[in-house]
Structure 1
Amino acid sequence: MEDLSGIYKSYADEVKRFLICLTTNVDLAEELTQETFYQAVKSIDRYNGECKMSVWLCQIAKHTYYNHLKKEKRYSHSSVEQMMEMGLDVPSNAELPEVELARRNTFISLHREIHLLKEPYREIFLLRTSVHLSFKEIGEIFDKSENWARVTFYRAKLKLVERIQGDQDEL
């Protein structure tokens, strides 16, 4: 355990600097540095000494960062569902008219993009988010499997995210 503590003391700053360069976010780099050393401890038996310890740790840091990006990407896909659920709720008394207007415009834009999806993506997305059917029920409607419904819904979300991000890039 003392060796691991020494490795951390020797290389933590170097790994953190590397992650700051990758992420351009100090807080995220600190978090990922901790995760990097956690992963290093879990896989220390795989370190064979063919490269410097710092290189090995930076490779783990890079993969940790890529895994973080994958999780973030998944989150952005699920945020499309959250936007649908947000709907046109009545604003709270504290909400400013500008915020409500922005929310309505976002909701309208999202619906416009949904209706531009090709079938069966549009229908499956609406059945899942608006009617709240299970994947099994959606599969039954289309005489397909539950897994087909899951995959098609996921692809519909990907297409929506691409369209929405494409619109934002044009601004």
Structure 2
Amino acid sequence: MNERDIALIRAARSGSTEAFTVIVKNYKNFVYRIILTTLQSRQDAEDVSQEVFIKAYRSLPKLRDEQTFPSWLAQIATRTALDWVQSKHKNQTVELDSERFVTQDVQSGMNARLDLEQALRQLSVEHRLVTVLRAVHGFDYEEIARILDIPIGTVRSRLHNARMHLRQLLQDERGDKS
């Protein structure tokens, strides 16, 4: 976070709707990608994103440290998206910009990206969410644990299991069955 973001957050906490509007503009894609990972529907992700920013605005006075704003906002986004899934029971398909997730198991090129997206669709919501929070958004294990309100050991376990499952799915997709 830079000083400008911190100043915007402080101004928004003091009641500046203009500052909060700038925050929304700066973080809307971040929130949208987190929600899309869970909901896998662009329309639902747009609706839930609006709900997230309403909740964030109302909860802003409770934010203890401006430096933690991104993980705090991610936590609101994740919980709101999971609540939406529980209440709506939507069918799931994933559309991720997964280029940053490309691992040593995946060769470069469009086919590899499509294979990765298809493999991510096959993960459970819990495994997909920790994978994307870590690989795409760059949160560390402690931040992911805080965002999802789960023990750090559970984060490690889910990430390990997700990676193993992805590796197997990607090998199967390429015909590298061992």
The structure where helix makes up a greater share of residues is 1
Based on CA coordinates, which of the two structures has the bigger radius of gyration?
Answer: 1
TM-score range, shorter chain: 0.3 to 0.5
Question: Which structure has the higher relative contact order (CA within 8 Å, separation 6+)?
Answer: 2
TM-score, normalized by length of structure 1? Answer: 0.40
